[in-house]
Amino acid sequence: MNWVSKILIVLLLIALSACSGVDSVTKKRWSNSENTISIIDMTSKDFRLMDAGSRLQRVIEGNLQTTGYILAGKDARYHLKYKIMEFNEGNRMARIATMGMSDSAKAQLRVKAALYDRGNMVGAWEVDSWVSGGVTGGSEDNLYESAAKEIAGHLRGDK
């Protein structure tokens, strides 16, 4: 390569490696909190239940996209409070072996949930979720997903 082509390549690299940025000035005296929600886990101090509560919270947060609510902090208008009342992970291998016929192998999750609007309860639900079988024995993830979908349906007003 001759020196002209090397200079052109260097100039091309300099031109293509442009920097980018953004600048914003915001002046506001209002807040849009009409559809904001916070999620509060009220599960007791039992570590097994607390773990189930935190897993359920993650799945509920993922399902909020379908409800019209926006996840916010403590200044949210609505507060969804829930408590894991019962959790049994069951035995997946037993579910596979018995093809879901054994109740002792069934995974169960029972949740009480309530929606508060500025401190006043506007709705309360008890959600029972279970996985009893299937070809692969079902997954604990299905347990949380079905409970979160049920709660999201209540938040939308579908249930």
Reported pTM: 0.73
Q: Which domain holds residue 65?
A: 34-156
Instruction: Please count the structural domains in the chain.
Output: 1
Residue at 77 is within a domain: yes
- Tens digit of each residue's pLDDT, the chain (159 residues): 687 777 877 766 665 555 555 555 656 555 555 889 999 999 877 788 899 999 999 999 999 888 889 898 888 999 999 999 999 888 777 767 776 666 667 788 999 999 999 889 999 999 998 887 766 667 788 889 999 999 999 888 876
pLDDT at position 35: 87
pLDDT value of residue 25: 60
Inter-residue contact 92 to 137 (CB < 8 Å): yes
| 69, part of any domain | yes
Task: Say how far apart CA 71 and CA 93 lie, in whole Å.
Answer: 37
**Confidence (pLDDT) at 60:** 94
Kindly state whether residue 29 falls inside one of the protein's structural domains: no
- Per the domain annotation, does 117 fall within a domain? yes
Residue 128, token pair as written in the block: 């029972």
Q: Is residue 11 part of a domain?
A: no
Helix, strand, coil shares of the chain as percentages rounded to 5?
A: 40, 25, 35
pLDDT of amino acid 29:
57
Given the structure tokens 């079905």, which residue do they identify? 146
Q: What local confidence, expressed as pLDDT, does residue 92 receive?
A: 73
CATH classification of the domain holding 130: 3.40.50.10610
Instruction: Compute the CA torsion angle 76, 62, 49, 77 (nearest 10 deg).
Output: 10
Given this model, what pLDDT does residue 97 score? Answer: 73
β-sheet bridge partners, residue 110: 86, 128
Report the distance separating Cα 57 and Cα 52, nearest Å.
Answer: 9
pLDDT of residue 44: 77
Q: Write down the pLDDT at residue 27.
A: 61
For residue 56, tell me if it sits in a domain.
yes
58-65's contacts with Cβ under 8 Å and 24+ in sequence apart are 59/144, 59/145, 59/147, 59/148, 60/148, 60/151, 60/152, 62/148, 63/148, 63/149, 63/151, 63/152, 64/37, 64/152, 64/155
Q: With respect to residue 9, please indicate whether it lies within any of the assigned structural domains.
A: no
